[in-house]
Amino acid sequence: MKNDIPTHVAIIMDGNGRWATRRGLKRSEGHYAGYKTLKKTALHILDKGVKYLSVFAFSTENFKRSKEEVDYLMNLFVTAFKSDQNFFIKNDIKVVFSGRKEPLSDEVYNVMKEIENETSNCKKTVFNVCLNYGGQAEIVDTTKKIVDLVEEGKLDINSLDTENYYHYLYNDLPPVDLLIRTSGEIRISNFMLYSISYAEIYFTTTCFPDFDEEEFDKALLDYQNRNITKGTVK
Ligand code: FPP
């Protein structure tokens, strides 16, 4: 019997730079192509019945890239999250962000807060954008949050377990069922470490700008035909 549609899909959107370089384009053009692909493919994924989609938009390590590339990506986030508000509202997609505030500029952070507020009543699906995100940092930040709650008398430490731990992560989302990484790299790169514990992992050599609806359907079929013994924990 085929597995159901995964509830939570997460994507490491890798290979924008290589996609551009192979075409004699600038890396920034690869990021723009990736953004265009993300809009189209995300809609397709959510239309398939996936309820939660998480994407790795910018890691804490990505700040080590050239100033030109970091500035380009930050501007792209600001422009996209301003101009796409209606896109998210029209499609009933609630946007949330996972990651640390520092060292994001106020301009980027304010746009993130604005789109979170504007889409907070959307109900159909959740789009979790991991921006200035690191998986180990999330576990450390969650631990600190839990300690604070315990000290304030708001949480009994003995009630904490592996299932309700999800409530205290950056966002209270269910575990990831299917993790996809594009571009041929076969590693996790510090992405959603707690939430991918039981995820099925799909690696493809396709670079992210080419990860269209058809490519997602291949990943979905692969997932649906797998013998999943562990299942999810939540
Ligand atoms: C990794 O490819 C990709 C990124 C660091 C950026 C991903 C961002 C997008 C797809 C745009 C998303 C836009 C919004 C608004 C959320 P890479 O540059 O590491 O590729 P390479 O390994 O080939 O160099």
Q: What is the pLDDT along the chain (234 residues), one digit of tens a residue?
A: 678 999 999 999 999 999 999 999 999 999 999 999 999 999 999 999 999 999 999 999 999 999 999 999 999 999 999 999 999 999 999 999 999 999 999 999 999 999 999 999 999 999 999 999 999 999 999 999 999 999 999 999 999 999 999 999 999 999 999 999 999 999 999 999 999 999 999 999 999 999 999 999 999 999 999 988 765 444
Distance CA 220, CA 69 (A): 32
- Residues with a known catalytic role: 14, 62
**Nearest CA, atom 8, ligand 1:** 57
- 1 inside domain: no
- 225 inside domain: yes
What pLDDT is attached to residue 230? 62
- 226 inside domain: yes
Ligand 1 binding pocket includes 80 (Cβ within 6 Å): yes
CATH no. for residue 28? 3.40.1180.10
- 110 inside domain: yes
- 3 inside domain: no
The closest of 78, 70, 73 to 109, measured between CA atoms, is 78
Q: How far is the CA of 2 from the centre of ligand 1 (A)?
A: 32
Q: Are 121 and 150 in contact (CB under 8 A)?
A: no
State which residues form the domain around 214. 8-230
Distance CA 16, CA 42 (A): 17
A 10 A CB-CB count for 205 gives: 10
- What global pTM score does this model have? 0.96
User: Which of 14, 185, 187 to probe ligand 1 with, by most ligand atoms within 8 A of CB?
Assistant: 14
Q: How far is the CA of 14 from the centre of ligand 1 (A)?
A: 6
User: Which of 11, 12, 13, 16 to probe ligand 1 with, by most ligand atoms within 8 A of CB?
Assistant: 16
How many structural domains compose the chain? 1
Ligand 1 binding pocket includes 34 (Cβ within 6 Å): yes
What pLDDT is attached to residue 231? 54
Task: Kindly give the number of the ligand 1 atom that is closest to the alpha carbon of 131.
Answer: 16
The closest of 79, 115, 112 to 98, measured between CA atoms, is 112
- 99 inside domain: yes
Sheet holding 178-181, edge to edge: 93-98, 125-133, 52-59, 8-12, 178-181, 200-203
Ligand 1 binding pocket includes 209 (Cβ within 6 Å): no
Ligand 1 binding pocket includes 129 (Cβ within 6 Å): yes
